[in-house]
Structure 1
């Protein structure tokens, strides 16, 4: 019934979908195995993509030739560029998605991707021969062979759902858990542990009084995520989100359920996400806060279902309902289903190589929440990299690895395999030491050529990048050479509170003023409008950023160059740390566990001191 595949992908969430698409587009014959064909690319939690640092990741996935950005643009109901008041390193795109349309578009794209086959079944074990993964065994008893296997199990491995004192198995509400894989891998010597995440109640939008909430509209321009020309909704078609708040009364009502809370009763053993805590965790940890913000988010264009962002909970259903009715605008609320917590197995990611291949079993790759991350975006980028590298391994090619200085994706993977995580890992801009270089606006300029050389990014995508590069360089020369007349611009300078000019001044010098932006300069000067009419908005923005932040960009490039020596000093895989007697015991244990690939990675392992790295460097020099 089944042929042998190059790559089998287990699970069709965000990680699995990207893995299947990447491997197939590189030329591998791929089988995507999912427990339910109707929930491919399901948005299990909030119906949104992007946000702080996460938006940068989606842009990087798109620049590399992944599908997440295209699917998001084709299904968004609202778009916002966050942090516009800050520097461009902090700008982060975010989209509110139509939940059903998002999954539909993902499935359409996968079905239209040559080389992807689908099968609905549960995978119960990996076929392992001589410390090499060679396929999977399914619940229906099929042994399906492949050259590489990618496991993207999400929250399904031995998943347990908690609502108050109720507890039952499941990987997601109304879907059964997956068993067998954890037990097999632990028997093979893998270390596993438990994590916890949660989701808020879903409610009937017809029962809300929006006049008691603050409206949050989308941007006047729908920029989107993809660098390709994806048809998107017009700004006026966007759906609004709304903001409301909890209150001391809401908090007191929630506290009445604490004695029946699975979290406080000790029934939940897994550690939850630090940066996305449940509402009961918020009022317990931040007792001094009188209110917490709630985002009222529509689930799509053609549904009344609402997601209450900020109200994640596993308290008893009656307590959830009573507390919600005290929230402004929620007095007559009707609940579609309660919030719940879910515990699941994960495998500490220090057991992985940079390619996301496991160290113990070759040709076996992990991506997504199985590695301890949280969030669609973090899962999707791991899926993309695991899919690429599963193809590379199957074809006996070199792994594709992104450095910390090249992408947020590189930061995420390096953090996971060097430091590990004992709580759900979430990406932030603060985790990237080179964030001025790793902006959302230049992801295509950074990454598309790397992917094109690999064979993933298309010729069309590469040509768009080259065209953008040529126009950016041409515009940089123009703003360097063009002199602005005082009468041309002084009225605008006065308007924004900037000193007028008495004589001609080069445009690139004017652009350095903090209160000046290119849009204002162009709108104030008919000459500039005529001069720049053939340059797209993205090119003008790119040049403005490069000119304004040139000093900071060059400083980070110098830092990358200084650090590159450490990153290029490779440590032999079989290096004997026990022979280096000067190392501290903690450093030796960490080195033996992580097996760092370079001195740079060794320096980032938690618990390793600079002196340990110096000792290692001296010893390797000998």
Structure 2
């Protein structure tokens, strides 16, 4: 950071949360000059909600960000204090790494990475407004009147756009508990005329560690052999700790019901829509009255901090009521609240106003990422930040846009869902959203995406060398499994690849029983090699089927929708589809398939009409480049 603000840069990033960090990092890796505007050093990489990274489907996003050269996986491996691989009892398509973070160490790690990065300048100031003229962004204006010129601006404001915090009847403008809301910037965004509305999220009370009787709780240890989230990690840096679980009781439920009229969620004080899949305690008890208890997780916020996070106990009741509800839990009869839980309302922009690059359709050079697009979760924000940052950097260099398809990455699914379907409530990623889950596993994220990142310029030499070694091992090991015979329970000897299709045979056991296999495994972290080989062999039939489905669909993905193409004049489409397609302007026929209400017949109709138009004047061609196509 310098003493003076820069006057002009290639890219301005507003905000330094998870989306802003990845956006700035990605753009700078491409060689763009980046100014990151944030309130203070303390706001970089903050974890205002649960201090954890990963989880179901979210772990997939982190692995993909990492494979593309992003920071989140490295950061959590350097600062994580408990690691667990979720869904081990199920198939590898839904295995999900998750790690509890020391939130202070995590934020400090991210700050150091940004401070030391070439091309990134940290600007500790609040952005008051966007500078937009003639449908094009020209930079930002700070609250002191200083202007930073930039033809690309990435807005990653989280919950700060006109943020309003609620604790019982008390409410005040804020983006996080003790940080000011971005009121003037919210007005600037609204002045663009983009569709949007208000959403709501919340956090639970924090409890002092010393006031908890942990002997009354159920310990939840981490994995004996932790699975890191970055492909570069060879060893975890921090000591590992236990978390604990506890269940609510009828006493807790009774207290909530007795005070429900004081909840801003239930007395009309809050109008924003909250997350369906992470409901508040009030919602859990009022919407599910037959459920006798709800499981909670007590998670330390760091190795040397007093705060303990009660995961699953989000609420916005008055502070004194929250204290009684916390003390009604086993082991917390003497609990001291460090900070009450709160709800926060904030503005968001309906993401159907964006292209698949996350650039605003109506404002050239303006990109949005994170909760401003209607999502919830650090991982969803970081993934969007990387996409927006890469495309802002590419745009600054006049290079083609970068997008990922639904068959290529969970990041592609996330962006496609947002841009084509929009949000009626905070969006959360699930593995069920992926049509081709076996192709998009956590173990093969590097095999899928690291070459793409290298081609772009976001994957550095160290990561590339690590990947090339891994890729070569994987190919040689696959050949060994095809050509080496092993004995199966029937007594026959068959190729090892075939043997692994037997549900009772695991590759780890085969390696121990058949030394002649001679597989090459990473001596430090062999689990990724083993997981990839096991899944590729065990599910080879299903994988080939999904690959054929992707190949059939690829002709739609490659077929561009001309910017002049009129959906409204196309007979055979319902009026509802005509309106939605006209509003959202998919860049390809494949993207049109994700529009709500789209049918295979309607998609085929659009494809045929575009082909006929192209044949008539010779101007419309299929595009197989990595760019976003027409309209991107």
TM-score computed with the length of structure 1 as normaliser: 0.95
Of residues 596, 618, 622, the one that matches 2:608 is: 618
Shift of 1:592: 1.5
The question of 1:599 aligning with 2:579 is answered no
User: Which residue does 1:560 correspond to in 2?
Assistant: 550
Shift of 1:293: 0.4
8 Å contact from structure 1 (residues 182, 192) kept in 2: no
User: Which residue does 2:559 correspond to in 1?
Assistant: 569
1:519-566 residue CA offsets vs partner (Å, 9 max, x unmatched) = 2233445x3587667774422332111111111111110110011111
Unpaired runs of at least 5, structure 1: 487-499
- Paired residues in the alignment total 606
User: Which residue does 2:440 correspond to in 1?
Assistant: 438
Shift of 1:582: 3.6
1:576-606 residue CA offsets vs partner (Å, 9 max, x unmatched) = 2232244322111111111111122222211
Query: Aligned pair in 2 of structure 1 residues 578, 304: CA closer, same or farther (>3 Å)?
Result: same
Local SS of the residue matching 1:5: coil
Of residues 503, 509, 534, the one that matches 1:520 is: 509
Of residues 468, 492, 496, the one that matches 1:507 is: 496
The question of 1:389 aligning with 2:391 is answered yes
In 2, Cα distance between equivalents of 1:122 and 1:530: 59
The question of 1:114 aligning with 2:136 is answered no
In 2, Cα distance between equivalents of 1:71 and 1:256: 43
8 Å contact from structure 1 (residues 216, 241) kept in 2: yes
User: Which residue does 1:156 correspond to in 2?
Assistant: 160
Shift of 1:459: 2.3
In 2, Cα distance between equivalents of 1:13 and 1:370: 12
8 Å contact from structure 1 (residues 312, 339) kept in 2: yes
Of residues 369, 376, 387, the one that matches 2:371 is: 369
8 Å contact from structure 1 (residues 46, 307) kept in 2: yes
1:355-392 residue CA offsets vs partner (Å, 9 max, x unmatched) = 10000100000000000000000000100111100011
In 1, Cα distance between equivalents of 2:115 and 2:349: 31
Unpaired runs of at least 5, structure 2: 613-632
Of residues 50, 73, 77, the one that matches 1:69 is: 73
8 Å contact from structure 1 (residues 133, 149) kept in 2: yes
TM-score computed with the length of structure 2 as normaliser: 0.93
Local SS of the residue matching 1:608: coil
8 Å contact from structure 1 (residues 9, 19) kept in 2: yes
Shift of 1:460: 2.2
Local SS of the residue matching 1:180: helix
1:2-13 alignment runs, 5 A limit: 2-13=6-17
1:274-318 residue CA offsets vs partner (Å, 9 max, x unmatched) = 100001101111111000000010111111210000000011112
User: Which residue does 2:535 correspond to in 1?
Assistant: 545
8 Å contact from structure 1 (residues 59, 443) kept in 2: yes
The question of 1:238 aligning with 2:240 is answered yes
User: Which residue does 1:316 correspond to in 2?
Assistant: 318
User: Which residue does 1:421 correspond to in 2?
Assistant: 423
8 Å contact from structure 1 (residues 216, 243) kept in 2: yes
Shift of 1:611: 4.2
Shift of 1:504: 3.4
Local SS of the residue matching 1:436: helix
1:256-405 alignment runs, 5 A limit: 256-405=258-407
CA RMSD, 1 decimal:
1.6
In 2, Cα distance between equivalents of 1:369 and 1:423: 11
Instruction: Select between 166-175 and 592-601 the one with higher mean Cα deviation.
Output: 592-601
In 2, Cα distance between equivalents of 1:533 and 1:267: 58
8 Å contact from structure 1 (residues 523, 529) kept in 2: no
Shift of 1:617: 2.9
Instruction: Select between 538-547 and 359-368 the one with higher mean Cα deviation.
Output: 538-547
1:80-126 residue CA offsets vs partner (Å, 9 max, x unmatched) = 11111111001000000000000000001111111110111111111
1:431-482 residue CA offsets vs partner (Å, 9 max, x unmatched) = 0101110000011000010110111111222222221121112112222232
